[in-house]
């Protein structure tokens, strides 16, 4: 059995948890995903499966040759397998891979925010609001010493491009699944914009009893 699926983030909403609390939830569309390649210990040194998601017509010739045994898929990612003997090339997996109560890790690319200052990017407090400092409220302040070392050290936090990073949020609880529509609801927030690609993985050790 594979450990994860590919899908897209739809939107956030609210749901009633089993304990009766109203919690924030993120709705995802997961699968169907097809196994496009198998990695084995004999040939690759480890066991894994490459899965594909979202059919498309725009593929180059190398991709068409690689996917000749499966539908033409746009996104390809590698996930772990519990037992390689149980997974076959071209096999299809859907959201029924998960169950309510499972704990999953979600990986996605965060929203790109463009150029941002230190207050927004690193939660700096900003400068004093008195004594004539009206133009320094959102400035970073001093970035280094004077004579020694006489330069700004690498890694100093400054304004710059924010977002667009690959982020993994761990231990999100599965609240509900809808196999007929390939939908899954996770407790909490998931990185990325609506419509963004997400990878949802679970480990047997993190499943709830």
Domain ranges of the chain: 4-112+172-206, 114-162
pLDDT tens digits for range 142-193? 888 888 888 999 999 999 999 999 999 999 999 999 999 999 999 999 999 9
Fold of 4-112+172-206: Elongation Factor Tu (Ef-tu); domain 3 (2.40.30)
> HEC profile for the chain?
CECEEEEEEEEEEEEECCCCCEEEEEEEEECCEEEEEEECHHHHCCCEEEEEEEECCCCCHHHHHHCCCCCCEEEEEEEEECCHHHCCCCCEECHHHCCCCCEEEEEEECCCCEEECHHHHHCCCCCCCCCCCCCCCCCCCCCCCCCCCCCCCCCCCCCEEECCCEEEEEEEEEEEEECCCCEEEEECCCCCCCCCEEEEEECHHHCCC
0.85 exceeded by pTM? no
Using pLDDT thresholds of 50, 70 and 90, give the confidence band for residue 132.
confident
């Amino acid at each position: 059995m594979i450990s994860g699926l590919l899908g897209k983030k739809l939107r956030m909403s609210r749901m009633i948890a089993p304990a009766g609390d109203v919690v924030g939830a993120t709705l995802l569309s997961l699968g169907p995903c097809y196994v496009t390649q198998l990695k084995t210990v004999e040939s690759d040194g480890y066991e894994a499966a490459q899965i594909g998601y979202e059919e498309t017509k725009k593929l180059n010739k190398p991709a068409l040759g690689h996917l000749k045994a499966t539908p033409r898929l746009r996104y390809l990612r590698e996930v772990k397998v519990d037992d390689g003997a149980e997974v076959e090339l071209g096999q299809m997996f859907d959201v029924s891979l998960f169950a309510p109560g499972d704990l999953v890790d979600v990986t996605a690319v965060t929203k790109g925010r463009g150029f941002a200052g230190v207050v927004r990017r690193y939660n700096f407090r900003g400068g004093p609001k008195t004594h004539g400092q009206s133009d320094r409220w959102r400035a970073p302040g001093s970035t280094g010493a004077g004579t020694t070392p006489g330069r700004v050290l690498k890694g100093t936090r400054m304004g710059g491009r924010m977002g667009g990073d690959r982020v993994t949020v761990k231990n999100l609880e599965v609240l509900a699944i809808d196999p007929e529509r390939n939908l899954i609801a996770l407790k909490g927030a998931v990185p990325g914009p609506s419509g963004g690609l997400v990878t949802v993985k679970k480990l047997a050790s993190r499943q709830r009893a």
